[in-house]
């Protein structure tokens, strides 16, 4: 049974013209695109999305960054999508990310790390519903 996950190409990567390259890596890895849109989000929307990190020291900076320019919001689908996307992304800190991963190749810092991917089934369901309406997911 295919599984859905939620992903963002973050503002650093969009600004650097890497959105197409990253999308191509995602497609080559076998993911189908269920829904996709380019959007600039507000600070308030970023705070809601990253609410689990509210108490972290980097919360203010992270939400400023995420609302600093257009990003690409996506719902992706394949067998084992959640774990496989996290593997394709690499570790949060690009310095620790494995060779060949998107963050190793395209991220510039632990904060400006090019891509987001849901980390579990419950977070994927929450994040898909946060950014996409039911009619966009048919």
110 binds ligand ATP (CB under 6 A): yes
Contact call for residue 45 and ligand ATP (CB under 6 A): no
- Spatial distance between the Cα atoms of 138 and 5, rounded to a whole number of angstroms: 15
Known catalytic residue at 53: no
Report d(CA 130, CA 93) in Å as an integer.
25
Indicate the helix (H) or strand (E) that contains 122.
Answer: helix 121-131
State residue 93 phi and psi, 5-degree precision.
Answer: -90, 115
Backbone angles phi, psi at 30, to 5 degrees: 95, 10
| Segment interacting with ligand ATP, rule: CB under 6 A, options 17-25, 34-42, 116-124, 125-133 | 116-124
Piece of 12-20, 36-44, 69-77, 115-123 that binds ligand ATP (CB under 6 A):
115-123
State yes or no: residue 58 binds ligand ATP (CB under 6 A): yes
Asked if 92 touches ligand ATP (CB under 6 A), the answer is yes
């Amino acid at each position: 049974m295919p599984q859905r996950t939620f992903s963002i190409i973050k503002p650093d990567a969009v600004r650097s013209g890497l959105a197409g390259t990253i999308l191509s890596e995602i497609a080559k890895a076998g993911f189908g695109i269920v829904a996709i849109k380019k959007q600039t989000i507000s600070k308030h929307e970023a705070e809601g999305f990253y609410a689990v990190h509210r108490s972290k020291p980097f919360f203010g900076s992270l939400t400023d960054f995420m609302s600093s320019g257009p990003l690409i919001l996506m719902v992706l689908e394949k067998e084992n999508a959640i774990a496989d996307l996290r593997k394709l992304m690499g570790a949060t800190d690009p310095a620790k990310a494995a060779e060949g991963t998107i963050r190793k190749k395209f991220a510039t810092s632990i904060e400006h790390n090019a891509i987001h991917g849901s980390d579990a089934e419950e977070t994927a369901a929450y994040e898909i519903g946060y950014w996409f309406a039911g009619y966009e997911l048919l």
